[in-house]
Amino acid sequence: MAIQETAVSYYGLGYVEHAAADFEEIRAHHCTTVILAVTEFEFDFWRPNLPAVVAAARRAGLKVLLDPWGIGKFFGGEQVSLFLQNNLENRQVSALTDEKLNAACFNTPAFRDYFMHFCLTLLREAGADGFFWDEPHYLLPKSYASITGGAGDDWSCRCPVCRKKFADYYGYEMPKLLTDDVKQFRWREALEILEETSRRIKVFDPAQEITICVHATLNTYYVTEQRGYDDWERVAASPYFDVFSTTIVSWELPEPFFRSIAERTAAVAKKYNKQSERWLMGYYRQPDDFAQIDRMTDLYESLGIDRLAAWTYRGGFGTRLAAPDALGLWDCIGRNYKRILKR
Ligand SMILES: [Zn+2]
């Protein structure tokens, strides 16, 4: 199967007429889908405009997915978190030092309610086609020999809520070491919040499409990142997700790594009858030679990937994370989307 869908993410959801003009440009870059990065501030402040922004994207011919971007710092993203500003508790806690960390604990009823309210409100009001679960994670660790971060012995979360849940389930105090029971507990709880939210979304509207996008980790016998979603089989097997997606890897990594990630993404997705998605880094870094983007696009297609996505609109132009030639990178991604969709 050829690649059928091409997506790009988009920030800045305040003024409908500005977004509408940008959606035309996104369409002209041969994107079929826009992933709207909805921040907690936008949800709190600009919410009356969000349905009109979604409607403008649909008028431009785009499928629209909503990404609760960086919410509680549970999802990936640079946005700041109102939940963390307004809550002194319900934070992830370091196992080794007992210190509160700068991320919400998604196993607490407080954050689960907050996340559920955020998503279900957007579901009812915004009129989009689905949701995008964007790099959900425990804050720590990234473990040894990590591709996307540094080494660490510490882990989270060992907050009072997690400790009580663990003790109630296993009948003993939650260890300070990352034992097998702790790993099982973290995997199970990590999936619970996204499965329950996805389930309620689909009860409201069965046509809603859910993408789960997890970190593109090595997942070898020796090395996993232990962010809560590194057991891809367990994640992809969930009946509540439609698309299994793995995140961006830097253009600086060796090309065999691109192949390995894409092969494993396609295989796991296919095994559980999901669509597969791979990402192109369309911000911050760019290849020395843009021809690498052509090669990786062809590679992903040849390996049976169903969808391509790029972060972000205009290569992050104007942000601290802009690519050196942000607009050139954006145009290159658009050319590749055109090329791939025409096959
Ligand atoms: Zn916790």
Residue 149 in any domain: the answer is no
Domain that holds residue 15: 5-85+110-138+206-341
pLDDT of residue 146: 52
Query: How far apart, in whole angstroms, are the C-alpha atoms of residue 59 and residue 80?
Result: 30
User: pLDDT digit string (tens) for 14-71?
Assistant: 999 999 999 999 999 999 999 999 999 999 999 999 999 999 999 999 999 999 999 9
CA of 122 to the centre of ligand 1 (A): 26
- The CA 306 to ligand 1 mean position distance, Å, reads 35
* pTM reported for the whole predicted model: 0.96
Residue 196 within a domain: no
- Indicate the pLDDT class of residue 296, thresholds 50, 70 and 90: very high
Read off the pLDDT band of 188 (50, 70, 90): very high
- pLDDT confidence of residue 217: 84
Cβ distance 68 to 13 under 8 Å?
A: no
- Distance (angstroms) between ligand 1 centre and the Cα of 38 equals 24
- What integer pLDDT is reported at residue 29 of this predicted model? 98
- The count of structural domains within the chain is 1
In a domain, 97, yes or no: no
Mean pLDDT value of segment 216-245:
90
Mean pLDDT of all residues in the chain?
A: 95
For residue 221, pLDDT beyond 80? no
Question: Could you tell me the distance, in angstroms and rounded to a whole number, from the CA of residue 230 to the centre of ligand 1?
Answer: 18
CA 163 – ligand 1 centroid, Å: 7
Q: Is residue 163 part of a domain?
A: no
Residue 179 in any domain: the answer is: no
Looking at residue 226, its pLDDT comes to: 86
Tell me the percentage of the chain whose pLDDT exceeds 90. Answer: 91
Q: Is position 157 within any domain?
A: no
**Segment 123-147 mean pLDDT:** 85
164, part of any domain: no
pLDDT at position 317: 98
Residue 164 has a pLDDT of: 98
What CATH number should be reported for the domain holding residue 321?
3.20.20.80
pLDDT at 305 over 60: yes
Give 100-125 pLDDT, tens digit per residue.
Answer: 999 999 999 999 999 999 999 999 99
CA of 158 to the centre of ligand 1 (A): 5
C-alpha span between 72 and 77 (Å, rounded): 10
Cα atoms in the 13 Å half-sphere on the side-chain side of 15 = 4
